[in-house]
Structure 1
Amino acid sequence: MAKMQATEHDARKARRAWIPFLAVSALLIAAAMLGAEIYGRRTAIEALESQGHTDASLKVALLTAVLERPRALPLLLSEDQQVINALSQGSTEAIDILNRKLEGLVAGTQAAVLYVVGTHGVAVSSSNWREPISFVGNDYTFRDYFTRAMKEGTAEHFALGSVSKRPGLYISRRVGSAEAPLGVVVVKMEFDRLETDWRDARRPVYVTDDHGVVLITSIPSWRFMMAAPAQEADLAAIRDSLQFGDAPLTPLPILRPTIINATTSLVSAVLPGAGEAEYLRLIETVPTTPWELEYLVPTSEPIAAAVREMRLLSLAVLLPLIAIAAVLLRRRQVAATKIAVEQGMREELERRVVARTDDLSRARDRLQAEISDHRETEARLQVVQQELVQANRLAILGQVAAGVAHEINQPVATIRAYADNARVFLERKQVNPAEENLNAIAALTERIGTITEELKAFARKGRTAAEPVDLRGVIEGATVLLKSRFAGQLSALDIRLPPPGLLVMGNRIRLEQILINLFQNALEALEGRENARVQIAVAETEDGVAVSVADNGPGISPEILGSLFTPFNTSKEKGLGLGLVISKDIVADYGGRIEVSSGESGSCFTVHLLKAKA
C-alpha cells in the first residue's frame, strides 16, 4: 500500500513539473517569433535599400545621359551665322533658311522643338514652322528661360508648353553679347521615351524640382503633383508663373513617412489601380540639376519572405532544443522513480565496494610503481634528447666555421698576391702600380669584412633578403677576385657579359661567392691542359636568367658526381668540399637552382636565378 501511495505521489509531482516547462517553452517560441520578425524585417529593408540605391543610381545615370545630349545645341546655334542673319536682318529669306535648318536638326538630335526668339520675346523661327501648332509668332516674354537667358546668357527651365500643352525641359542661350543681344535660341526636350523605359507599375520612379513638383514620372497621373505639402504662398507663386499650366499641385498619395536616413524612408503609398501598400522611398540627386530622383520599392513581399524565413530558421533551432529539454526532463523523472529501487541495491553495492577497495589499493600501489619507472625513463630520454640537440648544434657550428674559412681563403690569397706585386713595384720605383695594388688590398679587406658580416648574418637568420642586383657587375666582381690567383690562366675565361641593366634577385656578395667557386673549380680542373677554355654565358629564360660555366676539362667522375653537393665531398687534396654546398644553399635562398652535367668533353654548371624587374 505504501509503495502504491508513493508511486501515485510521484506521478502527480511529475505532472506538475510539466506545467512550468510548457509555459517557458511557449514564451521562448513567442520571443523567437518576435525576434525573427524584427530581424527579418531589418535585414530585408537593408537588402532592399542596397539594391534600390543601385537601381536608382542607374536611372540617374540614364537621365543624366539623356540631359547631356541636347545641351550643346543652344551653344552651337547661338554662334551659327544663319541664326545671326535671321535675327539681325529679319528678312523672309533668312528666316525661311533658318526654319528649314532647324527642321533638319530636330530629326537628328532627338530634341522635341528648336526655335529662335527675338529680343522682343516673339519666336521668329521654329523647327515646327510647318505644323498647326507652330511656335512662330508666339510671345515668350513671360517664360523664365527667355528672361534669364537674356540677362545671364543661358538658362534651363522645365514647364508645360503654352502651345503644345506637353511638358518638357527648355534649354536656352542668348545670341550676341549682353550689351547687344540679338535674341535667344531655345531647345525643348521631352522625356516620353525615358518615362516609357522607367514605366513599372510596381516600382514608381519620378523626378522632382527644387520646389518638390513632380516633373518626370513613370506614373502619368502623378505629373505636376507635390512630393510634400507646400505653403499656400509658394503654390500661388508657382501657379502665377504658368510654369505648369493650371495643374492643381496636390500632394502625392504618399502617407506616414518614417525616416531611416537622409536618403531613405519607409512610406505608405496608394498607386493607381491598387490599394495602399508599404514602400521604401529612396532619393538620389541628379547631377548638374537642382532635381532629385525618388524611387519607390515595394517592401511587403520581401519583408514577408524574410520574416517567414527567419521564423522557420528560429523554429528549426528552437524546437529541437525544446525537444531535447523535454527528453532530459522525462529522463529525470524516470530516474527519480528508480531512486527507491536503487536505494535497496545501494547497501549491496557498498559491501562490494569495500571488497573491491583492497584490490584497488593494491592496484594503485602497482600503478604508482609503474608511474615512477615511466618518469625515470622520461628523464633519461630528455637527457639523451638534449645531448642529441647539442651534438647537432655543434655539427652545424663546425660546418659554418669551415665555410667561413673557405670563403675568406680566396680574398686572403688574392691579398697576398697583391702584396707581393706591390713589393716588387716599390722595389722598381713604380709607384702608380704599387698604389693600385694597395688600393685593391684595401678593397679586399673591406670585402673580407663584408663576407664575414654576410656569413654572420647567414648564421644568425638563415638568409640575406633578396634585392635587384646587376648581373654584369656580379660577373665582373668575381673575375676581379680571381685575377691575381689565376693571373696566368684568366686567358682561358671566355666571358660573354650580359648587357648592362639585366637585374636578378639576390645579394651581390653572395652571388659573387657562387661564381668564384664555379670559376675556381673550372680553372683548377684545367691546370696543365692545352687549349684550356672556360666559357661563361648568360641567357634569359621564361622564368628567369641562366648563367652557365662550361669547361673542356676531364669531367667529374661518376662517384663524385652522385654526391657532388654533399658537405666535405671533394676530389682536391686541400679542398674542404663546401664550395658547391654553400653555392647551392645561396641559390636556393633566392629561389633558384644549380644544374650540372659532365662528360668526357668537360663539365657545365648552370645557375638559374630569378629575374628582377628593372
Structure 2
Amino acid sequence: MNSSYLADSTSQRLGRRSVIVVVLLVVFALLMVQTAHISRSQTLAELERKTEADLNRYLLSVQQKFDRYKDLPKLLSGYSELASILPLPMNEQDRLRINFYLQDVNATIGASDTYLMNAEGETVASSNWALDRSFVGGNFSFRPYFIDAMKGQSGRYFALGTTSQQRGYFFSYPVYEAGQIQGVVVVKIDLNDVEDHWNDPMQDILVTDNDDVIFISTRPEWKFRTLRPLAAHERRRVVESLRYGAHDLDPLDIVQRDTLPSGSQLITLTDILDKNRDDQEVLTSRQYLKMSRSMPDADLNVTILASLKPVEQRMISALTHVAFIYVATVLLVMVLLARYRIVQQREDFQLREHRALEASEARIRAIIDNTHAGLITLDEQGLMRYLNPTAEKLFGIKADEIREHYFSQLLSEADRSVCWRHIMNDAPDAPDELTIEAQAYHKGRGWFPIELTIGRMEVAGERQFMLTIHDITERKLYEQRLQQARDALESRVEERTSDLRQINMRLLDEMSQHRHTQNELIQTAKLAVLGQMAAGINHELNQPLTAIRHYADNAKAFLERGRFEVVSSNLSEISGLTERMAKIIHPLKEFSRKSTGQSEVVCLKAVRDGAMSVMYGQLEKEGIEVSWPSGLEEVYVTADSLRLEQVFVNLLANAIQAMEGYENPRIDVSLTSSQSMIDISFRDYGPGINDPQRIFEPFYTTKTAGQGLGLGLSISQRITESLQGSLIAKNHADGGAVFVISLPMASIPGHIECPSPSERV
C-alpha cells in the first residue's frame, strides 16, 4: 500500500516537472521570437533614420557641387569674344586666344573641361586644346546638352566622354549673337571625388540616371550596371546614345525585394564578394536597406545600400542577453522555490496562521496604497489619520504634514458644511454614505473639482469614516466640451432646418408650377391632335346630316299623305343616325377634357378603346392596321386613364407619320410583364430612329414643317415618369422603331368591370 502510494506520488511529481519543463521551454521560445522581432524592428528603424540622414547629407553635397557650376556656362556665354569666332575662327590667332581664355577659366573654376561648339556641334575651342585628348575638331551634336542649348535652354547631362572615356557631368548654355544662337559653351565637371569622400564601410552609395544605370558607386564592380533589367528598347536607346560607351549594362542580381511601411526596401543582393583558396570567385548573398532620393534638376537618383549586419549583430546580442537573463531568472526562481519549500516544511502551524493573517493585511494595505482613488480615514472628530499615496498626490501634500488635521480645510467653504453635517449626524436613521461633487485645494495648482464619497465604518468599536476621492477635472472638461458641442449642434440643426424648410417651400412651388406647365402642354398636345382630327370628323358628320335631312323631308311628305307607318320608320332612322353622330363626337369631348392628375386602377382595354376611338379616322384614312394583344380587359395598371390615353394617341400618331409613303403599313402592339411592371410595346414598320438618345428632347423633331413641334414624345415620357413608369425608344432588329411603356402592375379588382368608351362620359 505504502509502496504504491509512493510510486504514485513520485509519478505525479515527475509529471509536474515534465509539464514545468515544457512550459519553460515554450516560454523561452516565445521570448526569443518576441525579442528577435522587437530588436530587429528597433534596430532597423534606427538604421533607417541614420541612412536617411546620410542620404540627405550626400544629396546636399552633390547639389552644392552642381550649384557651383550650373550658372558658369551662362556667365561664359556673355563673353563677347566667344561669339566673335563663331561659326569658325577667322584665323589661328583668334583660335589660340579663345583656347588660352578657356584654359585659364577652366583652371580657375576647377572644372574638368570647358569648350565652345558652333551651331553644327563642332568644337572650335577647348581648355584641353594642347592635350592628346583635345576636344577641338570633335562633333558632339548628338549629345542632349547640345540639343537643349540650341533650343535656347540650359542643358544638363551625364555621360562617359567619347574622347576621354571619363565620367563627367555637362552644363551647357547657348551663345547669342544679334539675337541668334551661334553656338554652345559647355562646362564639364568630374564626379570622381563624390565617391572618394564616402568612407562608411557599412554603406554603399549609388548614383543612377532615369534608366537606373549606375554611374557613380563606392563599389567599383557595380559601375555601369543597372538596378533592374532593362527592356530591349531601353537598352537599344541607351547604347545608341553612346552615353556609357561599350559597357554591357548588366543588372545587379537582386533576388528579393521587400517594401517597408516607410517606403524603403529590404533587398537581397547576390554578388561576387570573395575568392576561395583555388582563386575561384565565390557568390555571396547579402541583405541591404535600400533608400533612394531623386534630384529633379539634375535627372539623377541617389541610392544608399546600408548593410543589415549591424541589425543582425544587435539582434544576436539582444537574444544572448535575454537568454542569459531568462536562464538566470529561472534558476533563481527554482532556488527560491526550493528554499521556500524547505522553510514552509519547518514552520509551525501557528506561525503559518500568523503569516497568513499578515499576508492578508499586507494585500489589503497594498490594494489601498495602489488604488487609483484617494483614500483618507477620519476619526469620530473628523481628524485625518491615514492618507494613501494617491490622496497625497491629489492634494500635493505629505501625509505627515496634515495628519491629525481636519479634512475640511482641504475643501471650499461651500462644501465644508455639507460634509460636517454628514459626519456629525449620529442619528440611527442617518445615511451610511454621502457622495457629492466638491471643490478641493491642491497645494501647487489651486482649486480643482473632485467626487467625494464619505462612508461610515466601525473599527474596534470606534466610529470612523472612509473618504474616497476622485479627481474629475477631465470629466468636467469633457462635460463642458460636450455641452458646447451640443449647443453648437442644436444651433446648426436649427439653422439647417430653417434653410431646408425654405428650400422645401421653393421646391413645392416649383413642382406646382412644373405640374401646371406639364398639364398645359398635355392639353395643348390634345388640342393639336383634335385639330388634325377635325377634317376627318367633319367628313364623318356630313353623311349622317345629309341622311337626316333626307329622312325628315320624306317624313313630312308621307305625314301629309297620312302614311304614318313610313313616317315612324323614317323617325327611327333619324334616331339611329343621331346616336351614331353622338358616338363620333364623344371621343372629342372625352379626349379634350383635362385630367384630374390622380393615379387609379386603369384597365388597358379601356385605354385602348379610347385611343382607337380618337385615332380610327386617321388610321382608316391611311389604311393602317393596328394589331392589339388579346386579354387586355384582364390587365390593370396604376395610372391616370386620360393621361395614359394621351400617351397611346401620341405613339399611334407618331407611328402613322413615320410610315407615310410605305407599303403595307401596320402597327404591332405587344404586352409583357415582369414581377410588378407591365411593358407595352408599340412597333411600326417605318424607317426607324436616327438618334434614339435625342428622340425625347423637347422640340426635337424629324417631321417636315407644319407636322408638329417635337413635344409629343417629350410630354409622353414625362407623363409615364409621373405615373412611376418609363418610356424608352429603340430600333427593331428587323426594321422600324419600337417604343416601350413600363407601368406599375395593379391587382385585378374583383368589383370593377373594364368600362367601354361610352361608359366613361
Equivalent residues of 1:206, 1:218 under 8 A apart: yes
Post-superposition shift, 1:188? 1.0
Seen in structure 2, the aligned counterparts of structure 1 residues 297 and 379 have a Cα distance that, compared at 3 Å, is closer
Indicate how the Cα distance of structure 1 residues 144 and 260 shifts in structure 2: closer, same or farther if over 3 A, else same.
same
Q: 1:426: which partner in 2?
A: none
1:39 aligns with 2:47: no
1:125-524 equivalent positions in 2, closer than 5 A? 125-176=125-176, 180-198=180-198, 202-261=202-261, 263-270=263-270, 273-274=273-274, 275-286=284-295, 288-300=297-309, 302-323=310-331, 326=334, 330=338
Change over 3 Å in CA distance of 1:61–1:380 after alignment to 2: closer
Which structure has the highest helix share of the two?
Answer: 1
Q: Deviations over 1:183-216 (max 9, x none)?
A: 0001111112222112556522111111111122
Q: Which residue of 1 aligns with 2:537?
A: none
Counterpart residue number, 2:23: 24
TM-score (norm 2): 0.43
In structure 1, C-alpha distance between the alignment counterparts of 2:123 and 2:407, rounded to whole Å: 108
For the pair shown, the structure with the greater C-alpha radius of gyration is 2
Alpha-carbon distance in 1 for matches of 2:176, 2:55: 40
* Contact 1:200–1:218 (CA under 8 A) maintained in structure 2: no
Q: Distance in 1 between matches of 2:408 and 2:214?
A: 88
Structure 1 pair 327–123 and aligned structure 2 pair: CA distance change class (3 A): same
Tell me if the contact between 1:159 and 1:244 (Cα under 8 Å) persists in the aligned partners.
yes
Q: Give, in angstroms, the shift of residue 86 of structure 1.
A: 1.8
Superposed, 1:455-604 pairs within 5 Å as none
| 3-state SS in 2 of match to 1:27 | helix
Contact 2:204 2:306 in 1 (8 A): yes
2:53 maps to 1:54? yes
Amino acid at match of 2:287: E
The verdict on how the C-alpha distance between 1:118 and 1:376 changes in structure 2, with shifts beyond 3 A counting, is closer
- Residue by residue over 1:37-78, the C-alpha shift from the partner in whole angstroms, topping out at 9 and shown as x without a partner, is 122111111111111111111111111111111112101111
- SS of the residue corresponding to residue 159 of structure 1 reads strand
Q: Distance in 2 between matches of 1:288 and 1:379?
A: 78
Gap change, CA 1:387 and 1:29, over 3 Å in 2: closer
Separation in structure 2 between the aligned mates of residue 387 and residue 316 of structure 1, nearest angstrom? 52
**Structure with more contact order per residue of length (Cα contacts < 8 Å, sep ≥ 6):** 1
CA contact (8 A) 2:384 2:406 kept: no
CA contact (8 A) 2:87 2:119 kept: no
Residues 60 and 293 in structure 1, CA contact (< 8 A), matched pair in contact too: yes
Q: Distance in 1 between matches of 2:204 and 2:407?
A: 83
What residue number does 2:79 align with?
A: 80
1:296 is aligned with what amino acid?
Answer: L
Structure 1 unmatched ranges of 5 or more: 351-373, 394-614
Q: Distance in 2 between matches of 1:135 and 1:380?
A: 99
SS of aligned partner of 2:69: coil
Question: Cα distance 1:52–1:385, how it changes in 2: closer, same or farther (>3 A)?
Answer: closer
Say if 1:116 and 1:185, in contact at 8 Å, map to a contact too: yes
| 1:68 corresponds to | 67
Does the CA-based 8 Å contact 1:153-1:173 persist in structure 2? yes
Shift, 1:321, TM fit: 4.7
**Closer, same or farther: CA 375–223 of 1 in aligned 2, 3 Å:** closer
The question of whether the paired residues in 2 share the 8 Å contact of 1:222 and 1:252 is answered with yes
Change (3 A) 1:89 1:268: closer
Match of 1:69, SS? helix
1:325 and 1:380 map into 2 onto residues whose CA distance is 42
Structure 1 residues 388, 219: closer, same or farther in 2, change over 3 A?
A: closer
- Kindly provide the amino acid, as one letter, of the partner of residue 162 in structure 1: T
After TM superposition, give the deviation of residue 219 of structure 1 in Å.
2.2
Structure 2 counterpart SS, 1:288: helix
- Partner Cα distance (2:384, 2:293) in 1: 78
Secondary structure in structure 2 of the residue aligned to 1:237: helix
Q: Partners in 2 of 1:104 and 1:284 — Cα distance?
A: 36
C-alpha distance 30-188 of structure 1, shift in aligned 2 (>3 A): same
Q: Structure 1 residues 380, 113: CA separation in 2 closer, same or farther (over 3 Å shift)?
A: closer
* Cα separation, 1, equivalents of 2:384 and 2:33: 66
Write the deviation string for residues 133-174 of structure 1: whole angstroms up to 9, x where unpaired: 111111112222112210133211111111111121111111
**For 1:161 and 1:51, how far apart are their aligned partners in 2?**
35
Shift in alpha-carbon separation, 1:311–1:182, aligned structure 2, 3 A: same
Change (3 A) 1:30 1:40: same
Rate the CA distance shift 1:174–1:378 in 2: closer, same or farther, 3 A. Answer: closer
Distance 1:375 1:191, change over 3 A: closer
Q: CA RMSD in A?
A: 3.6
Q: What does residue 91 of structure 1 align with?
A: 90
Contact 1:106 1:112 in 2 (8 A): yes
Q: Judging changes above 3 Å, is the alpha-carbon distance between structure 1 residues 24 and 379 closer, same or farther for their aligned structure 2 residues?
A: closer
1:297, CA displacement in angstroms? 1.1
Q: Is the 8 A contact 1:56 1:295 kept in 2?
A: yes
Residue 87 of structure 1 and its aligned partner are, at CA, apart by 1.6
SS in 2 for 1:132: coil
C-alpha separation in 1, matches of 2:407 and 2:36: 68
Instruction: Give the deviation of 1:241 after TM superposition.
Output: 1.3
SS of the aligned residue for 1:187 comes to strand
Q: Residue 76 of structure 1: SS of its match in structure 2?
A: helix
Q: Which amino acid aligns with 1:257?
A: R
Deviations 1:477-533 (A, max 9, x none): xxxxxxxxxxxxxxxxxxxxxxxxxxxxxxxxxxxxxxxxxxxxxxxxxxxxxxxxx
> Equivalent residue for 1:566?
none
**What is the CA-CA distance between 1:284 and the residue it aligns to?**
2.1
254-263 vs 18-27, greater mean Cα deviation: 254-263
1:333 Cα deviation after fit? 7.1
Identity of aligned residues (%): 23
Residue type at the aligned position of 2:255: L
> Does the CA contact (< 8 Å) of 1:82 and 1:97 recur in 2?
no
Please report how far the alpha carbon of residue 269 of structure 1 lies from its aligned counterpart in structure 2 after TM superposition: 2.4
2:252 is paired with a residue of what secondary structure?
Answer: coil
Aligned equivalents of 1:259, 1:387: Cα separation in 2: 62
Give TM-score scaled by structure 1 length. Answer: 0.53
